Structure 1
Amino acid sequence: MSLLVGGSVTVFAQSPELLKSYQQAVAFHKKGNYKEAVSFFQKTLKRGEMEFGPDHTISADIMNSLGEAYYAQSRHRKAETFFNKALAIRKKNLAPTHRDIAQSLNNLGLLYADLGRYGDAEEFYKNSMTIYEKALGPDHSRVGTSLNNLAELYRVQGRYAIAEPLYKKSQAIFKKTLGSESFALANSLSNLGLLYYKQGRYAEAEPLFKRSIVVKEKTLGLEHSLVGESLNNLALLYFGQDRLSAAEPLYKRALEIYERTLEPGHGSVAIALNNLAGVYYKQGRYADAEPLYLRSLAILEKSLGPDHTRVATSLNNLAMIYNKQRRFVDAERFYKRALIIGEKALGPQHPNLAKSLNNLARLYKSQGRFADAEPLYKRSLAMNERALGLRHPDVALNLRNLGGLYTTQGRDVEGLEYYRRATAIHQARAAHGGNQSLGGLSEQKSKRYLFTAHVRTAVSVARKSTSDRDRLVSESFSVGQLTRATQAGVAVSRMAARFAAGSDSLAKTVRELQDSIALWQKLDVRLIKLVSATPDKRNRSREKNVRNRLEGLEAKVATLSNKLTAEFPNYTELAASKPVHLGAVQKLLRPDEAMIAYLVTKWVTYVWVVRRESAVVFPARVGRDALQDAIDDLRGGLDASGIDKLADLPTFDRTAAHKLFKQIFAPIDKFLIGARHVFVVADGALQSLPLGVLVTDKPEKEFKDFSGYRQTAWLAKKYALTTLPSVSSLRALRTFAKRAVATIPFTGFGDPLLNGPQGGTRGIKLANLFRGSVANVDAIRDLPPLPDTAKELLALSAAVNGDSKHIYMRKRATERTVKKTNLSNSRIITFATHGLVAGDMKNAEPALVLTPPAKGTTLDDGLLTASEVAHLKLNADLVILSACNTAAGDGTEGAEGLSGLAKAFFYAGSRALLVSHWPVVSDAAVRLTTKMLTAGAGVGPAVALQRSMLALMNSADKPHYAHPLFWAPFVVVGEGGNPN
């Protein structure tokens, strides 16, 4: 809407006091202070009617502005009254094609669109635009506003194909007439972003929302309600991608703005309450969500009336809560009321109605009313396919729900067809680069429920089929990979893509592109946090700096991408961590190798065994919670904390380890005959336990000394085990990431200069290790020294004929040295030191401890963090991380295993890693790693580690090393096979 109407300023000039009063009202309106604006417009109107009469055009101008202020408060009846009065006066006094009549028609169109009177709204918009085009010309900004508003109307109605070109036409007019920094353009960009969001075109929507925020804050200030609107829209996008941690602060910030600048009963407050409640609903916080939904509903019913579409949306959302709480009567009543409202306001084919139908069907399904649910699901599907297209995420949701309806009734063959179609939609979205972005990876993870249901149904059908069994096993194997959208898996794929580039210059371009994208993502997350802050905590100069860097990176990424498209067209295909067909995996395996892949679901754990000539899948009857409890119990027997003497060693429950073996491994053991080396793709809690500690034979109940551990039938004795971050990692490592041709056999860093008391383990848990972004070097200096690591590094180097000049210890073992040394020519690289566990501090990164400098800087503060590791340039066959818990996640909430240091070293360029699952005892670590390299001639890292473990178990001088706490923490991740 526009407040100052052309043609009235001359009349206002006749009354300076009236002009001053009007301008004060306009100022309040522009600031979003609508309550004061209404008050001043009322006073101005009263004065104007006294001076010029109630039927004068200036009275109409003030009435129109007063109507706009009421509209901004969602006081629609008041707004309609004054819009109609203004229109009547203007029609009486002005020519039919006067621009002020067009403005009144436009404003009434906005009002009626808001009230769901779409037919009236369309008529008023078109009449308004016709007048503007005749009075002002087709390229005037008012014509652009009419086009935008008409496009908005079509978007709300689900007529997306008609709306999009109108948005773009309006934006072209705004750029030409108002410039690229105008509010009108920002508003239209945000609206087009909403269109893309509704179509599932998230990557196209995000930059539009962000641009809108920048321009609106610049033109309107930080606290304007229309800024809140754009913050809300960006949060909506993140919510759709299941990035709830990014969406929640933006929703809260939008709500704060609305509550500070608008009336408590304003519709925007209701929308913000509804959206924040949606986050709580997804998080399972129903008690927090319900009161927000109820507040939202009360506001909307009062401001818009009981039959508005937004009321229907609110009713639908409350019904979802009641369904989850098994309050079925309340849920059904609200769903049906929402449907009645929607059908009346939007017509029987609108996509918003499809959502209500889908949800009511889901309610009937949960009540076992399958015959009632099926036609509603099918009607919802047909409506969404017609309105949104066949590849939209909402269509996939419909298909998934129909699949679930059929499988619940035992109609697995029918259900499987629907699951296949739903999975294909999300797989296609991931294939278009989706799983390479933060949002795309999060979106794919959020569909795990669908993928597990697809796997469950395919396996069920396969077990009943004879002719189609092999194809269904292959299908389930591919879909199972979609559930493991891991960061470490993506890192391996990206590393492999660089090595596949061929020439050094092209590989350098690939690395530059990948680094630029990673930095862009990191800065983007930082910017979201900055703009989510309240005004008193906003740092505009820092925001500007981050935005400038983002813009520079966007240009750089575009340039590099274009270059790779021309010179390395297969890059995108290679860099994507997408499912690998079963047959392709089999071709990569050697005769004495196997792959085991796990998928942990609520009630069942699926296990695939892949051999060169065969493949099977087995549903193990142990679910997520039981598996977590079993592994937590086993990990308790591997905890070295607080141990001062051998008598304090925890007893490892071998009986429990045998029970778990019988559940998740014994049923598939017969398919591993002839296998010596086994790749393991773990899932869920299994990521935190090396499978080597499982016990294959029922153990003796008691033993008097540590010889009982030595005689135990550990799985580690039977197989050499290698962990893979994903199934696709095997293809990446064996097809593209060829073995390094290095002239330096060994480079090592360790034995940092530390002054603390002597300690036996290499793990640290300090919450005071940072001061801002730079580590507290004094705290690092007080850590326990690790003199054993010097002996370890020298022995490791000698085992592979290394040169001592490439061993960096004591004063030479600094972070600066690591960053400045050319490591791309080293075949084996070792860090023997303390490891900082990420989980010790909220959102702290995992790190390796090196010799701290006198004063910490960003270049060198004594801690080599995971993000700094990712910037190293490696080309190594093996990186040994002889430190604490280096197999752990990156410290973020819900992080998967291997997402910390392991992911960073893969990305930097290592084909295999030796990492630990718990704090390692220093002397045992020295023996394990040195024996691994001396025993590794002619075999791969996995067999070498197995030999080293067995030797440690049988240590004559330290029989207690037979306890798995000492020999089992390390695992090989990546390429663990024989390099020859």
Structure 2
Amino acid sequence: MLFSARAGAFLLALAGPALLPAAAAPPPAFRTDDPRYARLYALEDKADALFESDDYALSMSQKTRDAWTALETAASHNKVQGQAHPLAGVALINLSSMDQIDGRNPDALAHADRSLALLAPFRDAYPIYWMQGLSIKGYVQVTLNQIGAGGETLAEASRYIDGYFARTDPKALDESAMMLKSNIAFAHAQALSRLGRNSEAVEAQRRSMEARVAASGQNSADAVGAYYMYAQMLSRADRDAEAEIYARLAVDTATDHVDRKHPNYARALEALGLLLSRTGRRSESLAYLERSIAIKRETSGTKSLAFDFALQNLGNLLLPLERYDEAEPLFLEAERGFRDIEGDTSPQSARALAFAGVAAFAQGRRDEAIGRLQTALARGRTGSAEDRDMGQRVYPFLIPALIQAGRMDEARAAAADFDRETRQLDNLPGFAIANAGMLSAWANGGDSVDAACRLIALLRTSLSLQEDGALTEDQRAALDSVLAIATQARDAGLGMDAMALLAGSGIVQANHLVAQRMVDDPALGNRVRALQDRTRALQSADSLLLQALARDEGVAAARASRAALAKQVDADRTAIAHDFPRWLEARGGALPDLASLQANLAADEALLAVTPAFDGVYILAVSRERTTIIRAQETRADLVGRIARLRASLSATGFDQEGAHILYTQIFTPDVQAALGKAQRLRVVPTGAFAALPFAMLPQRPVQHIDRNTPWLIRRYALRIDSGFRPVVAQKLAAQDDRMLGIGAPLPFSQETQAIALKQRGGGAATLAQLPPLPGSAEELRSVARYFGPDHARLLIGANASEAILRTSDLRPYSVMLFATHGLVGGQMEGLDEPALLLSPPDTDSGNDGILTASEVTQMRIGADWVILSACNTAAGSSAQAPTYSGLAQAFRYAGAGALLVSHWPVRDDAGTFITVETVKANRRGAYRGVALQRAMLKLIRSGKPDAVQPYVWAPFILVGQ
């Protein structure tokens, strides 16, 4: 046997990395078919037949081990020029392979060392076995955390196999040789990646892919594996656009040519899912990963590395969605699985445990998180201090946790290690350098504010390059640290900068499709790409400046270079913002300035920002005279849980009054109330889960019974929701000659019209016929129209409430638009990955499906100063978990709308009509919109309508924008 197919298949799942002394060529007299050793050849054939058996249990049985041991013993007693016959080394290599597959890595390493020593004098007579031995040794060394040594072993294997291929007739290079070359390159790539040598790792992975495709064909299951592994390595090197090409190639090839029960089919789905997640398409990503796990559960079972990796990958997707309680058990199950297979020093188990620590930290269990993170770090360092990847995963969470726990000696030591290890990476990780510097300054009592400002500047640069604006978990943790530093220093400006990045990231993610469609315009697209090129140069300059500061060398030159690039980027961004303001909004808006914000606040107006970062929740209060920034006493997890329970409690018979008041006390502390002063109008900038909280229904005092006099926050403030920190612009009051367009009361879908929509959407409209009618929507539209008069109101009702009519109408003359129809949340139906409004069904296959999506809204040109979406869930974002300021509300903003009136949850028909009519009436009489909505809510509470005092009736309505 020249190569074990079983070992070769296993090696594709490796993550690999010892230089052996050069061996002399075998003596000329040695022959591999010398008839004097026929008994040894027979023993080899017997062992090989057992090892290659289709019966996996037999191939890995003690009987097979005994057969290889018999060969090793016999070969050791047969001397070739004074040394054991090389088949003794061959036998030990196969025993090493069996040990490796069984997870007995110390035994595997011992057998590999002995085999290579025996085979060294004859390596050119047994080149495949020589290279197989090196590859096994390198992999096991990496598994045992001897990363540098393993990398050298695999580099030696790579050099040898390149020489072997160069001197061998191509016709003699069979599939097994090509597969071995692929496996060696693969394991080497993994080792290089763990050493932080990402560029070299990509090149090694490319060689692995090319060899595997050459061996098996471009449409084989092995080729699928090669494609997705190369995609994953490109992604690690931040080359996502190239990575997606190969990930999609893997899925397309698997779909067309590979049995769905083959493990690589599921792995290809998983790889593409992970890439979609990295580029902000998380709803699609979840579907791919969940489908992949289901296939793995059915085919390979739960006792495999493939299944453990799948669990970990799904957990990693749930982390940025803030679904930490769902992610944590996945990581813990994966950790146990990795340890069972690879042993207690398994690097993958250490990573899974680190992620479980991150999830615990985000859920407020700081001590438990510290224990897991320290254990993961120690496990990753067993036998080696070179696994820098582990430190990059652990330190950004461990150091803040230690500081907040008051364990300063441990924090300082960890910060020093983080700083030292980060500087040893080869890819100039500007963010990691800045984060390490900030955490070191914080732990050591240095100028942490200045260090935090540098990190903020760097994050602004890097996030402006990302199409989806998604923050990684270590970036979120870093912003939590910035907010903690700002709170300690009472620096509201620094705190607002961090909050703006968190809010802006949410906006960009929610409106990824919006921004993408805008850039399709060549006039804008060319300028945006030029800006991105300059921003990348600025990012590199940031990294170089941080390194110069760390070395205290060349600081002035690096600072000047960075300043010149920053000036050019700012000028380009300002010019694009002037010419394409809607694109700037889609990308998160202009950078905030605290002084300008304060100066533009009205005398009776204040701003409140509530930001859940990673571990904590921070509150910023700004009035014309004062500012303050505080951290809530309860953890992020506790407060997010309270919001979820409060939302779930809303009904005619129940309301979590105690929880609602606790939320009020956590946000409106004495310091915050003092900063807000006597303001009567309050702008609220909520992010994360707080964007789903109707602040109006927070009681200012404990309440035992809800009645018309309950002290809700809406009695204290007229509220409006903002997506960011843009300076206030004076609001235009309603004019009597304003024009109104009303669209609603659409015709119901039938099975026939549903089929038309289903065909046009490619799936997803299958439940439209089950939606209930809206009997009060036509009267609501007519009631509002009366306040504008017949000459200033146009109504599109019934069959006229269609996409076709709406698309062909000039929408610019209308100052107010009112939609009274069903609102659909992204993900509510298959194929609908963004929120939408339901219009009348199409009667022909015309291209209009009756579903007006958020991205379709952005293509409109709207002149309305106010858009009222009197429909269920219109405050919802691009998915059920997305923030309020995304989705339909923001889509209408980008289409040109000013303010919006939307709802947090399904509204009662009569309540929706009442709020809409009364708000419009008050506004028409001269009240600011926020005040008009406040009066409408209070009037509904006092109206005597059934259950009108209950928050589920009056509280879902919010005003977004001014």
Q: Which residue does the alignment assign to 1:475?
A: 494
In the TM superposition, residue 126 of structure 1 has moved relative to its aligned partner by: 1.0
Question: Identity of counterpart residues, as a percentage?
Answer: 19
1:484 to 500, 503, 511: 503
SS of the residue 2:168 aligns to = helix
1:390-789 paired onto structure 2 within 5 Å: 390-391=428-429, 402=440, 405=443, 411=445, 414-416=447-449, 419-420=452-453, 423-433=456-466, 436-437=467-468, 440-441=469-470, 443-444=471-472, 447-462=475-490, 472-485=491-504, 487=506, 506=523, 575-577=586-588, 580-583=591-594, 585-586=596-597, 589=600, 591=602, 594-601=605-612, 605-611=618-624, 616-619=627-630, 623=634, 641=652, 660=664, 664=668, 678-683=682-687, 686-688=690-692, 691=695, 720-728=718-726, 745-752=739-746, 773-776=764-767, 779-780=770-771, 784-789=775-780
Retained in 2: the 8 A contact 1:3–1:65?
Answer: no
86 and 164 in structure 1: CA distance in 2 versus 1, 3 angstrom threshold: closer
Amino acid at match of 1:949: A
Once residues 257 and 655 of structure 1 are traced to their aligned partners in structure 2, the CA distance between those partners, rounded to angstroms, is 42
Q: Which residue does the alignment assign to 2:166?
A: 133
Once residues 835 and 66 of structure 1 are traced to their aligned partners in structure 2, the CA distance between those partners, rounded to angstroms, is 63
Amino acid at match of 1:802: H
In the TM superposition, residue 913 of structure 1 has moved relative to its aligned partner by: 1.1
Q: Which residue does the alignment assign to 1:341?
A: 382
Q: Which residue does the alignment assign to 2:136?
A: 111
Once residues 858 and 579 of structure 1 are traced to their aligned partners in structure 2, the CA distance between those partners, rounded to angstroms, is 37
In the TM superposition, residue 136 of structure 1 has moved relative to its aligned partner by: 5.3
Q: Which runs of 5+ in 1 are unaligned?
A: 6-17, 463-471, 512-563, 643-649, 757-769
Retained in 2: the 8 A contact 1:67–1:83?
Answer: no
Retained in 2: the 8 A contact 1:492–1:906?
Answer: no
1:876-895 paired onto structure 2 within 5 Å: 876-892=864-880, 894-895=881-882
Amino acid at match of 2:782: K
Once residues 925 and 316 of structure 1 are traced to their aligned partners in structure 2, the CA distance between those partners, rounded to angstroms, is 48
| TM-score, length-scaled by structure 1 | 0.64
SS of the residue 2:789 aligns to = helix
In the TM superposition, residue 481 of structure 1 has moved relative to its aligned partner by: 1.6
150 and 595 in structure 1: CA distance in 2 versus 1, 3 angstrom threshold: same
1:26-425 paired onto structure 2 within 5 Å: 73=101, 96=124, 102-116=127-141, 117-135=150-168, 145=182, 150-167=188-205, 190-199=228-237, 205-215=243-253, 221-227=259-265, 230=268, 233=271, 268=306, 271=309, 283-284=324-325, 289-301=331-343, 338=379, 341-343=382-384, 348=386, 350-352=388-390, 369-387=407-425, 389-391=427-429, 402=440, 405=443, 411=445, 414-416=447-449, 419-420=452-453, 423-425=456-458
In the TM superposition, residue 130 of structure 1 has moved relative to its aligned partner by: 1.8
Would you say 1:897 and 2:912 are equivalent positions? no
Retained in 2: the 8 A contact 1:312–1:341?
Answer: no
Amino acid at match of 1:809: I
Q: Which residue does the alignment assign to 2:936?
A: 949
Retained in 1: the 8 A contact 2:331–2:355?
Answer: no
Q: Which runs of 5+ in 2 are unaligned?
A: 9-40, 142-149, 529-574, 751-760
Once residues 599 and 339 of structure 1 are traced to their aligned partners in structure 2, the CA distance between those partners, rounded to angstroms, is 37
SS of the residue 1:829 aligns to = strand
- Per-residue CA deviations over 1:469-512 (Å, capped at 9, x if unaligned) read xxx3221111112232465576689979999x9x999589999x
Once residues 188 and 636 of structure 1 are traced to their aligned partners in structure 2, the CA distance between those partners, rounded to angstroms, is 47
Once residues 245 and 493 of structure 1 are traced to their aligned partners in structure 2, the CA distance between those partners, rounded to angstroms, is 13
1:807 to 770, 773, 795: 795
| TM-score, length-scaled by structure 2 | 0.65
In the TM superposition, residue 661 of structure 1 has moved relative to its aligned partner by: 8.4
Once residues 332 and 660 of structure 2 are traced to their aligned partners in structure 1, the CA distance between those partners, rounded to angstroms, is 43
Retained in 2: the 8 A contact 1:109–1:125?
Answer: no
Amino acid at match of 2:480: T
Once residues 362 and 668 of structure 1 are traced to their aligned partners in structure 2, the CA distance between those partners, rounded to angstroms, is 25
Amino acid at match of 1:457: I
Once residues 963 and 265 of structure 1 are traced to their aligned partners in structure 2, the CA distance between those partners, rounded to angstroms, is 52
628 and 34 in structure 1: CA distance in 2 versus 1, 3 angstrom threshold: closer
491 and 907 in structure 1: CA distance in 2 versus 1, 3 angstrom threshold: farther
Q: Which residue does the alignment assign to 1:535?
A: none
Retained in 2: the 8 A contact 1:597–1:680?
Answer: yes
Amino acid at match of 2:740: F
Retained in 2: the 8 A contact 1:604–1:621?
Answer: yes
Once residues 445 and 316 of structure 1 are traced to their aligned partners in structure 2, the CA distance between those partners, rounded to angstroms, is 12
1:917-936 paired onto structure 2 within 5 Å: 917=904, 925-926=912-913, 928-930=915-917, 932-933=919-920, 936=923
- Per-residue CA deviations over 1:106-164 (Å, capped at 9, x if unaligned) read 333321221114433322321221232233589x9959847666545433443334444
Q: Which residue does the alignment assign to 1:647?
A: none
Once residues 494 and 946 of structure 2 are traced to their aligned partners in structure 1, the CA distance between those partners, rounded to angstroms, is 48
Once residues 856 and 904 of structure 1 are traced to their aligned partners in structure 2, the CA distance between those partners, rounded to angstroms, is 26
Retained in 2: the 8 A contact 1:598–1:606?
Answer: yes
236 and 133 in structure 1: CA distance in 2 versus 1, 3 angstrom threshold: same
Q: Which residue does the alignment assign to 1:532?
A: none
Q: Which residue does the alignment assign to 1:536?
A: none
1:912 to 899, 918, 921: 899
In the TM superposition, residue 596 of structure 1 has moved relative to its aligned partner by: 0.9
1:792 to 783, 787, 807: 783
In the TM superposition, residue 779 of structure 1 has moved relative to its aligned partner by: 3.6
Retained in 1: the 8 A contact 2:212–2:223?
Answer: yes
Amino acid at match of 1:474: G
Amino acid at match of 2:691: Q
SS of the residue 2:503 aligns to = coil
Once residues 354 and 221 of structure 2 are traced to their aligned partners in structure 1, the CA distance between those partners, rounded to angstroms, is 33
Once residues 659 and 393 of structure 2 are traced to their aligned partners in structure 1, the CA distance between those partners, rounded to angstroms, is 51
924 and 114 in structure 1: CA distance in 2 versus 1, 3 angstrom threshold: closer
107 and 207 in structure 1: CA distance in 2 versus 1, 3 angstrom threshold: same
Once residues 132 and 938 of structure 1 are traced to their aligned partners in structure 2, the CA distance between those partners, rounded to angstroms, is 86
497 and 739 in structure 1: CA distance in 2 versus 1, 3 angstrom threshold: farther
Amino acid at match of 1:788: E
SS of the residue 1:477 aligns to = helix
Retained in 1: the 8 A contact 2:862–2:897?
Answer: yes
899 and 870 in structure 1: CA distance in 2 versus 1, 3 angstrom threshold: same
Tell me how many residue pairs correspond in the alignment: 826
Once residues 277 and 32 of structure 1 are traced to their aligned partners in structure 2, the CA distance between those partners, rounded to angstroms, is 34
Once residues 372 and 588 of structure 1 are traced to their aligned partners in structure 2, the CA distance between those partners, rounded to angstroms, is 44
